[in-house]
């Protein structure tokens, strides 16, 4: 039987800490951390995410700035808005909800955000800083995974860490963070040979490939730490991860459930980045 890593519980305790830090910042300096969230179009999942970010801001005492733009917003209009927000001292963090409608160029939009306000850590400057281990912000999902490992007292140094998935948002930065903590890291993807054997060597297995129940018990070492970043729907339209929880849980040492595992951490990490951004932009040390 695995120990269940509760993202809900860890997230709640991090938020308590952030709430206190925010109150202290407001008290001492009058600065309210400001997060601008830009949503273009009507993607239903994105609308839910944006609403949750808004609620998190309210919970922690941040100042939310919300921009809901029409489906037909032009590249120029979006860049103009980002430019205004880059210059607004009340806005400390800027997040453009992805995916953007097809006619917009995602890369140039993300590159236009001031790196000091890039609380998603998607700008190449912030991505590069993660590579060299000198960063201000970590991308929210990998940062959430690290927080879960630390909160569970899991040692990373010297462990075989296998990351399944090589996306810019999760797999690549996740691998860098584990490497920085002296894990021996293997990155797997759709072309990896002997995926099953490689996964079965993992002491820590992080899965982010977006395929429902892809990781089965035969791919997991007895006692391994299994972190499931996936959010999918199964054949009955029920939420499920990239890991076949039913079969893997009895074999794992630790496992994150879906929902209630990595998911609750991501917005909390976004809030942590925004608070840090607010402090940095005002010359306040952590």
- Residue 196 Cβ vs ligand GUN, minimum distance, rounded to whole Å: 28
**Judged by CB, which is closer to ligand GUN: 56, or 96?**
96
In the shown chain, the binding pattern of residues 26 to 45 toward ligand GUN, with x for contact by CB under 6 A and - for none, equals: --------------------
Q: Give yes or no for a contact between 128 and 69, defined as CB atoms under 8 angstroms apart.
A: no
Among positions 126-155, residues that touch ligand GUN (CB under 6 A) are 140
- Residue 69 Cβ vs ligand GUN, minimum distance, rounded to whole Å: 14
**200: enclosing H helix or E strand:** helix 195-200
**C-alpha span between 28 and 195 (Å, rounded):** 53
**Judged by CB, which is closer to ligand GUN: 169, or 258?**
169
Q: At what angle do helices 44-60 and 263-281 cross, to 10 degrees?
A: 60
Q: Give yes or no for a contact between 247 and 216, defined as CB atoms under 8 angstroms apart.
A: yes
Among positions 164-193, residues that touch ligand GUN (CB under 6 A) are 169
- Residue 241 Cβ vs ligand GUN, minimum distance, rounded to whole Å: 16
Please name the residues in contact with 5: beta carbons below 8 A apart, sequence gap of 6 or more: 148, 151, 152, 227, 254, 255, 256, 261
**Judged by CB, which is closer to ligand GUN: 57, or 199?**
57
Residue 206: both structure tokens together: 């992080």
Number of residues that bind ligand GUN (CB under 6 A): 7
Residue 273: which of 21, 39, 82 has the closest Cα? 21
**Judged by CB, which is closer to ligand GUN: 5, or 39?**
39
Is the alpha carbon torsion for 268, 109, 104, 142 positive or negative?
A: negative
- Residue 140 Cβ vs ligand GUN, minimum distance, rounded to whole Å: 5
Beta strand 232-233 with 239-240 is: antiparallel
- Catalytic residue numbers read 53, 97, 120
**Judged by CB, which is closer to ligand GUN: 105, or 222?**
105
Within a 10 A sphere around the Cβ of 81, how many other Cβ atoms?
19
Residue 270: both structure tokens together: 């976004």
In the shown chain, the binding pattern of residues 69 to 108 toward ligand GUN, with x for contact by CB under 6 A and - for none, equals: --------------------------xxxx----------
Cβ-proximal residue to ligand GUN, closest one: 98
Please name the residues in contact with 43: beta carbons below 8 A apart, sequence gap of 6 or more: 99
- Residue 146 Cβ vs ligand GUN, minimum distance, rounded to whole Å: 15
Check residue 120 for interaction with ligand GUN (CB under 6 A): yes
Residues that bind ligand GUN (CB under 6 A): 95-98, 120, 140, 169
């Amino acid at each position: 039987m695995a120990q269940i890593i509760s993202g809900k519980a860890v997230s709640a305790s991090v938020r308590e800490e952030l709430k206190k830090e925010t109150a202290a910042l407001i008290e001492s300096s009058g600065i309210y951390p400001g997060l601008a969230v830009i949503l273009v179009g009507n993607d239903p999942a994105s609308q839910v995410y944006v609403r949750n970010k808004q609620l998190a801001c309210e919970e922690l005492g941040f100042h939310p700035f919300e921009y809901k733009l029409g489906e037909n917003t032009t590249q120029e209009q979006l860049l103009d808005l980002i430019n205004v927000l880059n210059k607004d001292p009340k806005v400390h963090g800027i997040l453009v909800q992805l995916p953007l409608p097809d006619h917009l160029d995602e890369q140039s939009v993300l590159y236009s955000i001031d790196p000091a306000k890039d609380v998603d850590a998607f700008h190449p400057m912030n991505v590069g800083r993660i590579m060299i281990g000198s960063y201000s912000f970590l991308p929210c999902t990998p940062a959430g995974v690290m927080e879960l490992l630390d909160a569970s007292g899991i040692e990373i140094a010297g462990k075989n860490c296998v990351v399944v998935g090589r996306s810019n948002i999760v797999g690549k930065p996740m691998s860098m963070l584990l490497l920085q903590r002296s894990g021996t890291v293997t990155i797997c993807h759709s072309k990896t040979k002997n995926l099953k054997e490689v996964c079965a060597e993992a002491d820590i297995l992080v899965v982010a490939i977006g395929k429902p129940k892809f990781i089965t018990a035969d791919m997991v070492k007895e006692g391994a730490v299994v972190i499931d970043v996936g959010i999918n729907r199964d054949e009955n339209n029920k939420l499920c991860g990239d890991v076949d929880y039913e079969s893997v849980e009895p074999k794992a040492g630790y496992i994150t459930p879906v929902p209630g595992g990595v998911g609750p951490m991501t917005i909390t990490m976004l809030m942590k980045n925004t608070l840090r951004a607010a402090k940095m932009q005002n010359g306040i040390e952590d």
